[in-house]
Structure formats: C-alpha cells, structure tokens
Amino acid sequence: MKLLVTGGAGFIGSAVIRHSIANTRDSVVNLDKLTYAGNLESLSDVSDSDRYSFEHVDICDRAEVERVFREHEPDAVMHLAAETHVDRSIDGPAAFIETNIAGTYNLLEVASSYWQSRDNARKSAFRFHHISTDEVFGDLGSSGGLFAEDTPYAPSSPYSASKASADHLVRAWQRTYGLPTVISNCSNNYGPFQYPEKLIPLMIQNALEGGALPVYGRGQQIRDWLYVEDHARGLYTVLTQGQVGDSYNIGGQSEKLNIEVVQTVCDLLEELAPDKPAGVQKYSELITFVDDRPGHDLRYAIDASKIQSELGWAPEESFDSGIRKTVQWYLENQPWVAGVAQGAHRKRVGKLQGELK
C-alpha cells in the first residue's frame, strides 16, 4: 500500500516512516512543511529507498495538498502534522489553531473528496488515521484512574484544545460523510531524534553542556512514557487492523514523576558520560526548580488494554530499557543534535528543495 504521512519529518512521523520502510513492503510519501522541529536528517536511513518520497508542503495549502493526492494516489493517510509544544502554545496559540485545527480541516476536505472519487475496491480499503494525544482528556489529578477511549475531553492548554478540536473534526467527517477514519491517542513519547526542546533530550543536552536542568514546580507531575518505536508499531497496527470509526489509546505503562525522569537521566549520564563539564561534580546538582507553567496538568495515564486485547499490540520497551537506549543514542549522535541547533538540516533541505517556502 502507499501511505501518505503528514508531519513525517517530525519526531513521531519519522519513526513511523522508518518503521514502514524497514518492516513492510509499503511505499511512503512524506508531506511536511519543515518547521523548526522537522528534520529530514531523521530519515537519512530511508531517504534513498525507492519506496520513499518527500513533498515539502504545508497541510494548510489546499492546492498543494490536492496535488499530492492527485499525483501520489495514497491508499491511506497517517496524519501527524501538528504543532505540539505546550509552552509554545501558551506563548503563541495562533500557530496551533492554524495548523492543528484549520490544517486538519483542510486535509479532511481533500481526503474526503479524493476518497469519494475512488473505485469501490480502493474506496473500501482507504483509511484516514488521525494521531492525537492523551492531553485532550485533561488532568487526572491525584486520582488513581486512567484515560480510556471514552473518557470525556477536558483540555487545559491551547495545544491540547487544538488537538481535541481536530479529534472532533475527524469524528464528524466519519459520521457525517462516511470517511473511513481511525483515531489514536498516545502518552508522552521519548526516544531517538526528538527535538531537544522536550523534557528528556533537553535534560540530556543541558547536562552535557553543564547548563541548568529546569524542572517545573517540584517535579511532581506524573506522565506515562512511551518509547517512540513502540508507538510507531502501535500506529501501524491501528492503521491496518483498527475498526473504522473507532479510537485506540496507546500507552507505555510507565508512569513516572517528572523529577524521577530527570534523576534517571542524571544517573545514566553518570554511568555513560562520566567526563563532566568543568565545575560539575554530579549531574544532579544541575537540577533547578522553576515556577510552574500556567494550567499545568498534574497527571496523565493511559489505559491501553483495548489495543492490547483487540489488536494484539503491547510495548516492547520498559522505561528502564527505553531511557537507557535514548541516552545512549544522544551520546552517540551529538552531530545530529548540533545540526539541529545550528539549523544544518535546513541547509540540506535548501540544497535538496531550492529555497524554503
């Protein structure tokens, strides 16, 4: 089958593409606007494959999205293109409204028209998989509960509200127009190739440079951590085996306090990178508590029993194994991190694509 992956140069999208090229016979079209967090270097292992192609397109550009559908004729869409950083959404929500809501609407319109034009066999096989987040469900607080697929939505930030809006649009297009959609909601991802504004890679890089390790409040927020390659497997499972009109929660079954995560990173760096920056005796002494951000949810936790029982997916990595792999990867791939920081990947894009849009 031919997959159209939006946001395929991002952290999760690139993992999905690497998984698909390495483990299936599918071909993949990567549609990405290449914002600051999009990096084609994350796809260097598959970029030479004759089953991979790249389209430098913004999902809000309807004419270009229509061209991509017309020229590539995908059998399925995996929609990951999104603005995702909560802090950025608080400082500047407009981009989140534009991409996550208007962009999803635009993609749904084009996909629906395209789907309607297919012959019966291809129409029946077509799927639109929308990838969302557990943050749409809001804050579990101090309760011992878990987010299930039917948990009411209660988003707290502009980011999570924009993703909740996109989820509702996808459901509406399935119910009103019959577009064959599936939705998945995931917990916090971590692993290789994550842009270093997110918690784990930020802690790794700051520690290696001897910088502060900023932790909101006292670090008592709880998150369920999912290794990105496990997530990529889960997404492909939902796409190919999920029931049309249904949704599936994908979680790592690894709840941790934020401060525990940061301390674990410090402990691993003590072992794997013992030569510290000048003046640093222990990495953990760099931990710095900062004012909590507005509307910060205390706890997210996913009930992934549905995807496990119905589709047979389960995470292969524990948090201990996944975080060790992650820290090791960043230590071994400092040129990639430096390239991201210096915009080297953008220079490569410019060489490949001409002047960036």
Which H or E element spans position 287?
Answer: strand 287-290
343 band by pLDDT with thresholds 50, 70 and 90: low
Question: Tens of pLDDT along 54-103?
Answer: 999 999 999 999 999 999 999 999 999 999 889 899 999 999 999 999 99
Question: Tens of pLDDT along 23-34?
Answer: 999 999 999 999
159 is catalytic: yes
Task: Give the active site residue among 135, 224, 229, 230.
Answer: 135
260 is catalytic: no
Does the pLDDT of residue 345 top 60, yes or no?
A: no
Choice among 23-27, 79-83, 252-256, 340-344 with the minimum mean pLDDT:
340-344
Looking at per-residue pLDDT, the higher value among 352 and 89 belongs to 89
135 is catalytic: yes
Place of tokens 């992650």: 326
Does the pLDDT of residue 342 top 90, yes or no?
A: no
Who's near 219: CB < 8 A, 6+ residues apart?
257, 258, 259, 260, 262, 289
Cβ atoms of 345 and 282 closer than 8 Å: no
Who's near 127: CB < 8 A, 6+ residues apart?
75, 76, 77, 180, 181, 182, 239, 244
Quick one: pLDDT at residue 349?
Answer: 39
Torsion angle of alpha carbons 211, 216, 217, 223, nearest 10°? Answer: -130
Structure tokens at 67: 């061209």
Ordered by start, the domain boundaries in the chain are 2-190+228-253+300-318+342-353
Structure tokens at 210: 């001897």
Cβ atoms of 105 and 94 closer than 8 Å: no
Structure tokens at 261: 């995560």
Structure tokens at 290: 């900062």
CA pair distance 111, 65, nearest whole angstrom: 9
Who's near 121: CB < 8 A, 6+ residues apart?
none
- Note the pTM of the prediction, 2 decimals: 0.93
User: What's the one-letter identity of residue 268?
Assistant: L
CA pair distance 129, 321, nearest whole angstrom: 29
User: What's the one-letter identity of residue 105?
Assistant: Y
Mean pLDDT, the chain, whole residue set: 94
Other CB atoms closer than 10 Å to residue 275's CB: what's the count? 5
Task: Give the active site residue among 159, 195, 283, 300.
Answer: 159
> 265 has which bridge partners?
none
CA pair distance 108, 173, nearest whole angstrom: 7
Exposed, middle or buried by CB within 10 Å (0-12, 13-18, 19+), for 306? middle
Other CB atoms closer than 10 Å to residue 98's CB: what's the count? 15
Parallel, antiparallel, or unpaired for β 247-250 and 181-186? parallel
User: What's the one-letter identity of residue 182?
Assistant: V
Cβ atoms of 3 and 78 closer than 8 Å: yes
Question: Tens of pLDDT along 115-168?
Answer: 999 999 999 999 999 999 999 999 998 878 999 999 999 999 999 999 999 999
- 2-190+228-253+300-318+342-353: CATH architecture: 3-Layer(aba) Sandwich (3.40)
DSSP labels, 68-80? HHHHH--SEEEE-
356 band by pLDDT with thresholds 50, 70 and 90: very low
Nearest in space to 58 (alpha carbons), one of 7, 110, 115:
7
User: What's the one-letter identity of residue 256?
Assistant: K
